[in-house]
Amino acid sequence: MKKSLFYSSFIPILIFSACKKQNINFLANQTQDLFFDSSVQFLKAQLTKQDFSKLNLENEKVLRYRGENIGVQIFEKNESPKKYILLKKYNGSYSGNWIDMSALKLSKDSSYNGTVNIKSINKETQVNLKVKNNQVVQVIKTSNTLQQPQIINYVPTYKKHNSYSREEEGTIELPDIVIYWGGPDQDYTSLYWLFNQDNVFEVYYFKDGGSSETTYGGGSAGNNGDNVTAAPAFIPPTHPITDIKTEVKCFTNNVSSTYSISVNINEPSPGTRDVFSPFSSFQAGHTFLTLEQHNTDGSSIIRNIGFYPKYSAKPGDPLDVAVFGEDSNTPFDVSLKISVSGSDFITVIRNLENQTMVYDLNNFNCTNSAMSALKSININLPSTKSASALFSGNNPGDLGEDIRNLDLNNFSANNGGRKMTRTVSNSNNQAAPKRNGGC
């Protein structure tokens, strides 16, 4: 967020302001030093002298999320950056694990296979994660209290409108994948698994790998030095459309009818460019179209159509079979309604009918589908892409904010001079007109 600057002609005031800014930065680092120092004191009390001596206190990272210190990653001496202690602070108390990820191997298709070994700080509990194609497929847990190892198998089965959840019997659904691969030096590791499968951290990931010098956060001032992020997940529709051609077959091109297309956006956090909000009904938001034909006899045909993954998609696992969804009950907070001709309306419908039915999180998601449909009649929606390290595509949060900030007169003039109206809200409390009309 850009902040306005106050300018003054009085040099002493300028000098004082500059000194004050420097002091603020110093105090922020000092706070992080204190956080790290308290973590070290906890480890001194918990570890044997031999184990404590294994740690290289010059090679560590403080884990930060939304400007808050939530943990510390401290690497071992003379070891690869895949072996470290990961310490978390939650509700005022510390806990942690010895992590060994050195057995994970990167394949040619940028996925990881192998095992992750996790031991509690006191080494009373040990967990081995078996990883296949970035996913945990088996957990073997041993401890001083277990007479025999506890073996749990996982399957990546999805439940609608919910995070991956556990079943009480049989196999257990996979809560999340372990590694998000974003290219060289872009490994992100699941805090859920490494923090004792703590549900609080189910959707949070931190940037992995050691550093040659002390760092605090690894981010920029613009994101409060965060090196922990939440990963967006895109979910299937509640009401899938089995045949898109059947869904839109009642629309016709009549000279006497009027037509409009609305782009509706459910932002994860209305009023922000966040790509993900773990507490939203649509955690990664959603973009969909409302198609309306109003006839002179008073009848109307209305369809609400969105583009979805059939099962699920997220960073590290971005591809899925695509399916359209009937979105009459999908709320939104931003909408742009565009009046079009009958022939343009039919062109948009033909575009939807012929879209690729492969859902690609980074390149062709729900937002791209709407953008493609309107581009077919030379309406070019804004195309801001996420700056998140985990997700780099078009998304509802950015599109929603772009439309909020549009100069509608200029946008209309640059896109065919069509009549346009915009509706915005501070929450996802807007509703599209219900599906209507048959043939």
Better-predicted residue by pLDDT, 338 or 132:
338
Neighbours of 166 (CB within 10 A): 11
pLDDT surpassing 60 at residue 43: yes
pLDDT band at 144 (very low <50, low <70, confident <90, very high): confident
Cα Rg, the chain, nearest whole Å: 26
Q: What is the pLDDT of residues 393-424, one digit of tens each?
A: 999 999 999 999 999 999 999 999 999 999 99
pTM beyond cutoff 0.85: no
Q: Structure tokens of 342? A: 């009958």
pLDDT surpassing 50 at residue 282: yes
Neighbours of 439 (CB within 10 A): 7
pLDDT for res 392: 84
pLDDT surpassing 70 at residue 311: yes
Rounded average pLDDT over 311-317 = 80
pLDDT band at 77 (very low <50, low <70, confident <90, very high): very high
- Give rounded-to-5 percent helix, strand, coil for the chain: 20, 35, 45
The chain-wide mean pLDDT, for the chain, equals 83
> 56-70, 142-156, 201-215, 373-387: lowest mean pLDDT where?
201-215
Q: What is the pLDDT of residues 291-304, one digit of tens each?
A: 999 999 999 999 99
pLDDT band at 79 (very low <50, low <70, confident <90, very high): confident
pLDDT for res 210: 52
Better-predicted residue by pLDDT, 134 or 131:
131
Q: What is the pLDDT of residues 158-172, one digit of tens each?
A: 433 333 333 333 334
pLDDT surpassing 70 at residue 53: yes
pLDDT surpassing 90 at residue 176: no
Better-predicted residue by pLDDT, 222 or 154:
154
> 21-25, 103-107, 125-129, 280-284: lowest mean pLDDT where?
21-25
- Output the DSSP codes for 203-271: TEEEE----SS-EE-SS-GGGTT--EEEPP-B---SSEES-HHHHHTT----TT-EEEEEEEEE-SSTT
pLDDT band at 185 (very low <50, low <70, confident <90, very high): low
pLDDT surpassing 80 at residue 274: yes
pLDDT for res 183: 56
- Using CA atoms, how far apart are residues 301 and 345, in angstroms rounded to an integer? 12
- Using CA atoms, how far apart are residues 209 and 348, in angstroms rounded to an integer? 47
Q: Burial level of 143, CB count in 10 A (0-12/13-18/19+)?
A: middle
pLDDT for res 175: 57
Better-predicted residue by pLDDT, 12 or 316:
316
**Is residue 97 classed as helix, strand or coil in its secondary structure?**
strand
Strands 172-173, 112-120: pairing kind: unpaired
> 219-223, 263-267, 366-370: lowest mean pLDDT where?
219-223
Provide, rounded to the nearest whole percent, the portion of the chain with pLDDT above 90.
58
- Using CA atoms, how far apart are residues 290 and 311, in angstroms rounded to an integer? 23
